A and B are shown apart, each in its own frame.
Chain A
Amino acid sequence: MAQYPLLRISGLRKVFGGVIAVDDLDFDADTGSITALIGPNGAGKTTVFNMITGFLPPTDGEILFVERKIEKLPSHRVARMGVARTFQHVQVFSQMSVLENVMVGRHTRSKTGLFLSLLTPPFWRPEERRIEEKAREWLSFVGMEGIADRPAGSLPLGNQRMLEVARALAAEPKLLLLDEPASGLNARETLAMGELIGRIREMGITVLLVEHDMELVMEISDQVVVVNFGRRIAAGTPAEVQLDPDVIAAYLGE
């Protein structure tokens, strides 16, 4: 069965009322690769992410993840299978500490249920300690261990984006979806984010990336899929895609 990629999208469609947000989209993401999904504003990129992660049901089409159809699963089930994501509009749990945010990320990797939670105090639960240890490890991975106790809502945007990545990584996912991780970041933070994505790939995690910063995309991606009005207009290596006349037209015509 080795011919199957980690993620296979085929014939994917999403219609909102009269708007066709995603139209007959196909692409594969191979294990360990970085695939960038790019396109002008409103092209349907976030909608694709929402369908992969179970936030929206597709109108039509198939999403195959580790050879299983996942397009009808609810988001918490998709998460349990090993898909983690970040959000275009950063979504941290602002009342909780930085550390607790990442601890929530360990949710799929822990299992204490209702009764055990009620009956045992946290310090008697070895799992609780492991969750905290792991969360601290992932915080150091993104270089935020020094501000573990700060309320997440008080951080500047750059740190909040990093925190979202740490929270997603804490699930130790097979597939990580990053929706514009560099948006709103300054040049230095963008560089750090690019470097972080590189290190994520080195761990063998497959990355699907939506990003408007073309320099970043072209530098780190193995494969680029270009969509416009929900349709795929090109796909290939960064070098191939940059020379594609349709892509140039779509970007200049917007």
Chain B
Amino acid sequence: MSNTEWPLWEVFIRSKQGLDHKHVGSLHAADAQMAIENARDVYTRRMEGVSIWVVESQYVHASNPAEAGALYDPANDKAYRHPTFYNLPDKVKHM
């Protein structure tokens, strides 16, 4: 086995001009340039992308799934944030 593994990179692809970059997977590469080239070969063989972002995985910070309840709970009881919360007469148009 060789000395060290190349770092892991997360790959994000914009599938079409005007859309967000979306996470598609990860790969190993020695540096950012190689990560982009490998991402092109691995994730865009069928024109799945017009733009690629790569981020070294160690720099991604994530929320803890065990705390998901507490983290998102406060949003649950605020139905008034949604337009359907408001009852308006049918004759009101364009709203």
A binds B: no
